[in-house]
Each structure stands twice: as structure tokens, then as C-alpha cells.
Chains A and B, each alone.
Chain A
Amino acid sequence: METIKKTITIALAGNPNSGKTTVFNSLTGSRQHVGNYPGVTVEKKEGYRDHKGYRVRVVDLPGTYSLTAYSIEELIARHFVVEEKPDVVVDILDATNLERNLYLAVQFMELGARLVLALNMSDLAKVRGYEVDREKLSVLLGCPVVPTVATKGEGMSGLLDAAIAQMNETHNLPSVTVKYGWEIEEEIARLSSLLEKCDELASNHSPRWLAIKLLENDTEVREQVRRQCGNSDEILDAVRRSTQHLETVFGDAPEIVIADRRYGFISGACRESVRSTGQSRYDMSERIDSVLTNRIIGLPLFIGLMYLVFQFTFTLGAPLMELLEKLFALMGNVISSLWPAESESALKSLLVDGVIGGVGSVLSFLPNIMFLFLAIAILEDSGYMARAAFIMDRIMHKVGLHGKSFIPMLLAFGCTVPAIMATRTLEHRTDRLTTILVTPLISCGARLTIYAMMIPAFFPLAWRARVLWILYIIGILLALLSAKLIRVTVLRGESTPFVMELPPYRMPTVRGVAIHTWERACMYVKKAGTIILAVSVILWALTSYPKSKELEKEFDREMARVQRLLVSNGDTGGEAAIQEKLDQLQREKEAQMLAHSAAGRIGRFLEPALRPLGFDWRIGTAFLGAFAAKEVFVAQMGIVFSIGDAETSHRSLRQKLHENYSRLTGFCVMLFAMIATPCVATVAVTRREAGSWKWAIFQFGGLTVMAYILTLLVHQIGLLLS
């Protein structure tokens, strides 16, 4: 048994697509914790591993190309290194593309971090004919370079050895600084000497780094100088003069020249230490891309692939979903049986109808959602998702968004909540907000349950699939139109610039795909466990209270009478009929109680407003339930029509619907359910991801108004035509 001497912190950095996540998973295994960086919604993953007497805490920094103040991710990576001072920064490099990947490494060097470089995918690099002289590279860069193959877990302990050695400074490497040429160095020296006088700032940052950042026009460092330095006017004035001077010398802004020099330094280091046979890392990808991103067949192939994804999701998910539904029903029965059969205990009703009914109905979607996430994780890890964004860019551009926004929208077919969380990959706030706002219009898995119940009630067999497609397409078109509308009104502005890397295609690993799927599924379960639980309880209360003593007594009397009949009537033939009558009474009682409850009253109160849409109070009451989770609509309709357990008697509910409403009303209900009132989980996640209630309320109100107007139009025009 080793005794743990000390906990050390390693920050994992790297470009997107460098295999950073895979390294993190290899290092920490299942000992991970996912949280958020304070104050922002960027995910922060941490994990632990014991190594040679050290407890190593591994913090996964966001994947970035640089360390500017340009995006939240880059700022977070920078802040973490500056403020939390990890013992070592391990920068994961894609060994098949060192030039680009070293750009970030150089910036960590400048930041003064103790750096270890991991040459990841070094097996692939070898196959592609790259030979890296690691000794030479580490001397040129002044930090240890370790080969790794994270997909196979190779090189992890070597990486940790190097990190510990780097922390204890037991290596013999020269200290290296990137030089920017005498013109720029002169300005750096001038600014550094001014910055050294500013104790508060200089205690935490190297003056050279601050000087470079000021020349690069880094908004955050400028702000820090302004706040923390007594001589801030003098410094900023000097920065202005230096910038002007450099602009006249180079004919380009200093930050461009600095970036150029950094790349120059890197390419010098690579020339001396990397030998390549000149084979492109895109050889294989090129062939695949010539088909998959082809201008003519790219889009049809993408649509076909999406069709397969949905087919896969629903075919595999359906039996498991049924199983889960049965399981929750069983749980309900078991809990019910703790009370005597005729007990009217409020606690029993709360547990069975409120908690299990609400949370269970959401959790029973878990299989479908898991399969959808699994398919998406495979598409992401293989590199296809970036291509899908590329293919969709032309269409998305027309509505003022770009291709990247399409990926969250795709997730929304499963569930809106993870879709909104996935907008984190969008760099610009306008893009992100627009995408968040329109995402609920994409029909999620829960709305599919509503369609699945309603369509067969009103449409002949031949029409059913078509109506379903029409609904999905209306949703997609509305999302695109609303995005356009938002981009020309509340979030006006030019469409934002768009650069995205197309990584080479890679074979996804089982482990990577499993972890991605699992993480997303956990978010979904967490949502069910918290918000939906709370709202289910509230809605349960709304539908159960106030109770009416008279109604209850009246029904009890009637039931007692029928019961007596049952007892006195000895023959078995009448028994079934009487039992039937009893059940009927029980259901009618439930329906009348619901009508009497707060939810029923709200439904009645709203009825005048809902009339023009063709809805009555019963539909209104059921829509109240849909706010908890869309599929609750089905269960609520079951109760108002006193069908009893709606899940098992879809057929009789459909019969009732058919008798009570026209086909037009049926369609309007689906239309309204699709657009209106995003579920409570969506509201909560929008509030969190958009950063304020303002946007969540705007989304909620906007969608509800849109639903009302469109449904009103459809219903009124439909009435005129028929």
C-alpha cells in the first residue's frame, strides 16, 4: 500500500479535436465529477487518479485554439491557469497536426505555466509518416514532450511521470521564450518596465505576458490595468503609442504580427524536430468527404442518415420504454398496496399520482433518449457532425444562423433540454440566444406521444404518417422562420462570422461514445429528479384540490348502493355488469372531482379564450398538465374523459375524442401542443443557459402567443372551408 503524500493539480488543455477528452477519460476513468465553472455555464470536469504516491487532481479545461479574451472558453482556460495556479498544465497535441496545436502551447509557455506536452495520436502520426524527434522538440520548447495514444490508454503513466518531474523541476531543459523581433521586443520591454511598477498586477502575472497582451489589444488585460494600476493612464498611453508605432512599421495590427511570429517560431521548431514524408492527414477523409459533403448528394445523404438515426432510436427504444412504463405502474401498485384499497390518503395519492405518475412518465422516455444520444455521440466522435453543420450552413445562413446551430436543433428531436445545453458550442451570444429561443419548436419525443394518441383518433390509416410528417415539418419551418424573425428584430445584427474545423474522420471508441451518452443521459435524469418532481407535485395538488365533500359523499352513496346490489344479487352473470358499473362510477367521480379542482376551474376560466381555437375546458385543463411535461397532456385527457388509466386504454380515449371533437379541433390541439408553452424543464434550462429570466419569459410568452394566433387562424379558416 502506497501512502498518499500530496495532492497535485493538473490542468488538461488542448485544441478541440486533439483527443483531450479521451486523455481525460483515460486518466481518470470513472472517477469524474461534472460541474460548472463559477458564474458561467461552461462545463467543468474534474477527476482523480493516484500515481506514485501522489493524488493527482485532473481538471479538464475547455478545448480552445488560443488564449485570447475572445470567447468564454478561452477566458476560462486562462483564468484557471492564472488564478488557480495548477501545478502543471498538460497540453494535448494532435501529433498529426503539430503546427496548429503548438500555437496554444506557446501561449501557455508565455503565461508562465509549468507545461508538459502530450503528443497524442502518435500511432496515427507514425502511420502517416511523421517522425518527431521528441528530445529535440522538448529542448526547443523548453518542456517535456511525451507520446500518448489516449484511445488505447497508452502513455498515461509516462505523462503523469513527466508532469510530476516538471512540477518538481527535476528535468534539465532550458527556459525558452518566444522572441518577437527587435521592433516588438523593444515595445514589450518598455511596457514591461511600466507594468513592473504596478505591484498588484505584477504579483500575479508576468510583466512580459501582460505587455504582449496589451499589444494584442486584449480587452480583459486592459480592463485589469485600468482597475488595478495606479499608473494606468501612463501604461495605456504607452500602449497606444507602441501600437501606432508598430502599425506604421508593419502595416498591420500588432496582434496579427505577433500571431505570425508565434507561428514562425513554431514552424522553426517543427522544421528541426519533425520529419514528414508529406502524406496528408486528410488522405482517407478526403475520399469520404468527396461523397459525404458532395454538393449534390451531401444533403440527401445527410437526411437519409438522420432518418436512420430516428428509425434506430424508436425501433430499439420502444420495447424498453414499454418495459419501463410497466415497471413504474408496478411501483405505483406496490406503493398503493401499503394502504387499504379504499383509502383516500393524500400521501398515497401524492406518491402514486403525483411523484410516480409525473417523474415516471418522463423517465420512461429515457431509452429513446439514450439511443438518440448514442447515435449522436457516434456521429460526433467520428467527425461527421462538423460535416453536417457544413452541409446545413447554406440553409441556416438564410435565417441568420449558421451550420453549427443545426446540431442542437437535431438533439431537440429527442428532448429540448439537452438541445439547449448543446448550444454551448456556439461562440456568439446572438447565435446562441436565437438557437435557444427557437429550439422548443422542434417536436421533442414527449410531443410525439401526443401526436401518437391524437392522430389515430381523427385520421384514417392512410393519412396518419403524412399528418405526423406535416407536424414535424411545420415545427422545423416555424423554428427557421422564428429564427429569421428574431434576427431582424430583437437580436438584430449581421450574421456572425463562422470558422469551424473539419477534423479528420476517426473511428469512434466504445468507451468515448459510452461516456458521452452517459453524461447526456445523466443530465436528463437529473432534470426529471428535480424540476419535474417539483412541478409534478404542484400539478398534482392543482388537480386534486380543493376537494368537494358533497360530491364525494354523493358518489360514495351511489357506489355503496351498487355494492349492496352486488352482494344481494347472488348470480354471477350480473356480477361483471355491476363491477363494470362500479368502475364507471369511480371514473365519473374522478372526472367530476377534477372539474371541481383548481386545475378544472382554471380550465373553465380559460374556456372563453380557448373557444375560438375550438378547445373546451377539458382541453384547457389538460394543457395545464402539459406544462409539467408535454406527455402529461395524454394522461390528463384520460382523466377528464373519465377513461381511468389512459396509458392502457388509448383506444377508448381515442373513441371519446372522436365523439367529442372534430378532426379540425384534433389537428388544432396538436398544433397548439407543438408550439405553445414549453415545458417547465425547458423554461428552467433556458433561464440558466441564457443567463436571465428575461429570455425564458420572452420565449414562453412568444411561443404561447404564436401558438394562439396560428391555431386561431387554422381553426377559423378551417371552419370557413368546411
Chain B
Amino acid sequence: MSAEEKESSAGPPMPLSLARAGSRVRLVCVRAGRGLARRLADMGFVPGDEIQVVSNGVPGPLVVLVKGSRLVLGRGMAEKILVK
């Protein structure tokens, strides 16, 4: 897991939708309208926070672990979240 962590924390930001299942990433920013960004922040998606990708099957939604909860994220939403 720690190798995975190193691997994904390097490099420029990428959309969460591209993160591999099992990887841990950090949120950089949310590229969305104010309402949606706010909503995501309320759900625990705040910059710098760790996101654990539980599953990511294309096509279809992702499952991530954020602040102790598993959340299902629509793919469209995951494309708007930039992570490192």
C-alpha cells in the first residue's frame, strides 16, 4: 500500500476518476460550480484530505473512503475532483 501511495502522490493533479482502485490520493481542488463544490466540501471533500479509492470500475460510479465513510461518487462528479 505504501508503494502505491508514493506512486500516486507524485506528478501533476489528475481527475479522481483516473485513480486506481486501492490507491490513496490527496484532494487538490474541485472544479465545479460553487453549489456543487460546496456540497462536496460538506461531504468531506476538502483540499488536502486523503481519499481512499475503494473501487473504480469503468463505466460506472466510484466508491471512495472519505472521513470515515464510504461514498458512491458518480463518474461525472469524480471527473471534476482533482487529486494528487
- Residues of A at the B interface (CB closer than 8 Å) are 65-66, 68, 70, 96-100, 103, 216-217, 252-253, 255-256, 259-260, 263, 281-282, 285, 293, 295, 386, 389-390, 393-394, 397, 402-403, 494-495, 497-503
Contact = CB atoms under 8 A, between A and B. Distances in A.
Q: Lowest 6 A-B CB distances belong to which pairs? A: A498-B74, A259-B41, A66-B42, A394-B60, A502-B70, A260-B46
A386 B38 contact: no
Contacts of B43: 65, 499
Contacts of A217: 34, 38
Contacts of B70: 282, 285, 501-503
Given A99-B67, A393-B60, A500 B72 contact: yes
B22 interface: no
Contact of A390 (B32, B61, B77): B61
Nearest to A281: B68
B68 A99 contact: yes
B18 interface: no
A498 B61 contact: yes
Interface in B49-84: 49, 55, 57, 59-61, 63, 65, 67-77, 80
B40 A499 contact: yes
Q: Which among B41, B42, B61 has the greatest number of chain A C-beta atoms within 10 A?
A: B42
B44 interface: yes
B17 to A, nearest CB: 13
Contacts of B36: 497
B38 to A, nearest CB: 5
Contacts of B75: 397
A393 B72 contact: yes
A98 B67 CA distance: 9
Contacts of A100: 44, 67-69
A503 B39 CA distance: 19
Given A68-B39, A255-B38, A503-B69, 8 more contacts: A256-B38, A259-B41, A393-B60, A393-B61, A397-B74, A402-B61, A494-B76, A498-B76
B14 interface: no
A295 B60 CA distance: 10
A87 B20 CA distance: 49
A498 B39 CA distance: 11
Interface in B20-48: 29-30, 32, 34-44, 46-48
Q: Which among A260, A394, A495, A497 has the greatest number of chain B C-beta atoms within 10 A?
A: A497
A263 B67 contact: yes
A282 to B, nearest CB: 6
Contact of A293 (B37, B40, B55): B55
9 contacts: A70-B38, A70-B39, A256-B30, A260-B48, A393-B72, A497-B74, A497-B77, A499-B43, A501-B72
B63 A390 contact: yes
A256 B60 CA distance: 27
Contacts of B29: 252
Nearest to A500: B72
B68 A403 contact: no
Contacts of A263: 44, 46, 49, 67
B71 A499 contact: yes
Contacts of A495: 74, 76
A259 B42 contact: yes
B20 to A, nearest CB: 14
B48 to A, nearest CB: 8
A68 B42 contact: yes
Given A252-B47, A390-B61, A397-B59, A498 B72 contact: yes
A502 B46 contact: no
A282 B71 CA distance: 12
B61 A403 contact: yes
B45 to A, nearest CB: 9
A70 B47 CA distance: 21
Contacts of A253: 34, 37-38
B42 to A, nearest CB: 4
Given A256-B47, A386-B72, A394-B60, A499 B77 contact: yes
Contacts of A498: 61, 72-74, 76-77
B71 A502 contact: yes
Nearest to B75: A397
B55 to A, nearest CB: 7
A390 B72 contact: yes
A249 to B, nearest CB: 14
Contacts of A390: 61, 63, 72
Given A100-B67, A498-B72, A394 B40 contact: no
Given A97-B68, A390-B72, A499-B77, A260 B41 contact: yes
Nearest to B68: A97
B29 to A, nearest CB: 7
A320 B80 CA distance: 52
A33 B68 CA distance: 34
A256 B74 CA distance: 20
Contacts of B80: 497
A386 B38 CA distance: 23
B72 A502 contact: yes
Contact of A403 (B32, B55, B72): B72
Nearest to B32: A497
A636 to B, nearest CB: 46
Given A100-B44, A256-B30, A390-B61, A402 B74 contact: yes
Given A295-B57, A498-B61, A499-B77, A259 B46 contact: yes
Contacts of A502: 63, 69-72
Given A70-B35, A256-B47, A499 B74 contact: yes
B8 to A, nearest CB: 20
A497 B76 contact: yes
Contact of A256 (B46, B65, B68): B46
A669 to B, nearest CB: 39
Nearest to B44: A100
A715 B41 CA distance: 55
Nearest to B80: A497
Nearest to B39: A70
Contacts of B40: 499
Given A66-B42, A68-B42, A394-B60, A260 B74 contact: no
Contacts of B46: 256, 259-260, 263
A217 B38 CA distance: 9
B63 to A, nearest CB: 6
B74 A393 contact: yes
Nearest to B46: A260
Contacts of B73: 498-499
Contact of A255 (B34, B59, B69): B34
